[in-house]
């Protein structure tokens, strides 16, 4: 599905005057924007934001094309090559690498040299950097962490853990009470990737994790084996629900709702269905994944959506001004509020809705994730490697004794895929 709307200077003359907007930059010509935000709420949010930018630049004509998200993924290389827009949505880190390496995304390091971006979007600079240069700006992300049943913790006299030893001690008390520590559904594999992300980043740090997922470290290394040794401690305790390989992530939610499991390592998108299932905010809480190796700075999974300027763009001046606009604190506050995207602004000067999980997530990502921001296993690794690896991660959770065979298989895949 592809749709387009076009806004002219005349159409926004009245809106611009009522907002007191002036075209300080003197932007002219046409700005073509391609969006993959085809679902109704994100689409409406992006269209309103673009209208506001148009109102501030009345001598500029903005043409916006909305493409179905799945179709966008298959079309992006073609349109970046043959008929590039001036601005296009995409994703951070390894997901943008193919287009950076093909010379299809513009280097926007000049924007990241500006204090308004450099100081306030610093948490995602690493995710926007390839070969020492920045290739776009982020406009939204969301946190991962441990969502847990506070009422169960209170009943068992547990407090939020901060270290691996405290995490395991809490887990043992939960098991002794006849419950599972964690619900999880690995039917579609990616949830196992979330556990590996956190265990590996907390064991070995962000840089090693990214080396592994970009093919520069071995799956048979001592570092990786230590990560799996930590994971196996939980598996051997019986920390995870039984038969998790038969459940999707949604099908694993009832174990937490019913109190059969105490926690879920998941993205913030799990909050809405947990609330809808009847858990109150008095029952539900959140904590940052604990420290494992002392001295290793905490990195976080925070999948990040981004805007880029194609190398073949025709109006790069206006495109850069649009990226500045998208990165600004007020705009990020507005587009991410609960009535719009319902996620987190990346700009540290933004504000968030009065929702305790959004507030905690924003604070954690803005100031408490010095170790870096990862994009999640299947975004940071190439698609073929991610599939093979996540199959191995699920197998390990079911048959941990197969570890040596799994790691050898993943290393063979690494040598083939990254070659």
Q: What is the pLDDT of residues 5-21, one digit of tens each?
A: 565 444 444 333 333 33
Q: How far apart are CA 356 and CA 366, in angstroms?
A: 15
DSSP letter at 240 equals B
The pLDDT score that the predictor gives to residue 372 is 84
Q: How far apart are CA 88 and CA 64, in angstroms?
A: 10
What DSSP string describes 301-317? E--EEEEE-BTT-S-HH
Q: What is the pLDDT of residues 242-276, one digit of tens each?
A: 999 999 999 999 999 999 999 999 999 999 999 99
Domain ranges of the chain: 2-142+303-367, 144-301+382-417
Q: How far apart are CA 182 and CA 145, in angstroms?
A: 12
Residue 230 half-sphere exposure, CB side, CA atoms within 13 Å?
A: 23
Scanning the structure block, which residue is given the tokens 């690494």?
414
The pLDDT score that the predictor gives to residue 370 is 65
Scanning the structure block, which residue is given the tokens 């698609």?
383
What band does 25 get if pLDDT is binned at 50, 70 and 90?
Answer: low
CATH topology agreement for domains 2-142+303-367 and 144-301+382-417: yes
Mean model confidence pLDDT for the chain: 92
Strand partners, 267: 144
Q: What is the pLDDT of residues 209-232, one digit of tens each?
A: 999 999 999 999 999 999 999 999
Q: How far apart are CA 39 and CA 67, in angstroms?
A: 10
Which tokens sit at 385? 């490697």
C-beta of residue 177 within 8 angstroms of C-beta of residue 156 = yes
Q: Which of 161, 191, 167, 152 is nearest to 239 (CA)?
A: 167
What DSSP string describes 60-122? EEEEEEEE-HHHHHHHHHHHHHHS--SEEEEESGGGTHHHHHTT-B---HHHHTSHHHHTTSG
- The second-level CATH assignment, the architecture, of 2-142+303-367 is 3-Layer(aba) Sandwich (3.40)
Domain 144-301+382-417 CATH class label: alpha beta
Query: b or e along 305-340 (b: 16 or more beta carbons within 10 Å of the residue's beta carbon)?
Result: bbbbbbbbbebbbbbbbbbbbbbbbebbbbbbbeeb
**CA-angle at 185, arms to 184 and 186, nearest 5°:** 115
Q: Is the pLDDT of residue 65 over 50?
A: yes
Q: Is the pLDDT of residue 236 over 50?
A: yes
Q: What is the pLDDT of residues 85-98, one digit of tens each?
A: 999 999 998 889 99
Average pLDDT over every residue of 25-54: 94
Q: Is the pLDDT of residue 4 over 80?
A: no
């Amino acid at each position: 599905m592809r749709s387009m709307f076009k806004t002219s200077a005349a159409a926004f003359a009245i809106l611009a005057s009522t907002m007191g907007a002036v075209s300080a930059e003197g932007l002219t010509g046409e700005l073509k924007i391609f969006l993959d935000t085809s679902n109704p709420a994100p689409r409406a949010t992006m269209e309103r934001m673009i209208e506001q930018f148009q109102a501030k630049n009345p001598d500029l004509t903005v043409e916006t094309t909305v493409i179905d998200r799945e179709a966008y993924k298959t079309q992006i290389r073609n349109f970046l090559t043959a008929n590039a827009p001036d601005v296009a949505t995409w994703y951070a880190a390894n997901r943008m690498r193919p287009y950076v390496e093909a010379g299809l995304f513009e280097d926007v390091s000049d924007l990241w040299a500006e204090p308004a971006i450099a100081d306030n979007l610093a948490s995602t600079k690493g995710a926007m950097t390839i070969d020492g240069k920045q290739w776009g700006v982020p406009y939204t992300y969301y946190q991962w962490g441990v969502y847990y049943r506070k009422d169960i913790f209170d009943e068992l006299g547990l407090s939020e853990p901060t270290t691996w030893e405290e995490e395991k001690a809490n887990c043992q008390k939960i098991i002794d009470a006849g419950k599972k520590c964690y619900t999880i559904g690995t039917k579609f594999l990616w949830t196992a990737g979330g556990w590996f992300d956190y265990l590996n980043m907390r064991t070995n740090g962000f840089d090693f994790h990214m080396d592994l997922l970009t093919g520069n470290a071995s799956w048979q290394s001592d570092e990786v084996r230590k990560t799996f040794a930590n994971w196996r401690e939980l598996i051997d305790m019986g920390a995870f629900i039984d038969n998790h390989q038969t459940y999707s992530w949604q099908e694993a939610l009832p174990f937490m709702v019913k109190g059969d499991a105490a926690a879920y390592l998941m993205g913030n998108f799990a909050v809405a269905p947990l609330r809808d299932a009847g858990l109150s905010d008095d029952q539900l809480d959140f904590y940052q994944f604990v420290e494992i190796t002392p001295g290793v700075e905490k990195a976080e999974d925070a999948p990040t959506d981004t805007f880029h300027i194609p190398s073949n763009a025709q109006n790069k001046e206006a495109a850069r001004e649009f990226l500045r606009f998208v990165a600004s604190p007020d705009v990020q506050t507005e587009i991410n509020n609960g009535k719009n995207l319902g996620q987190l602004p990346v700009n540290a000067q933004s504000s968030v809705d009065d929702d305790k999980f959004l507030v905690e997530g924003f604070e954690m990502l803005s100031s408490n994730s010095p170790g870096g921001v990862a994009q999640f296993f299947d975004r940071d690794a190439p698609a073929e490697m991610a599939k093979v690896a996540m199959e191995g991660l699920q197998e390990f959770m079911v048959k941990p004794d197969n570890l040596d065979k799994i790691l050898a298989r993943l290393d063979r895949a690494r040598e083939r895929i990254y070659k």
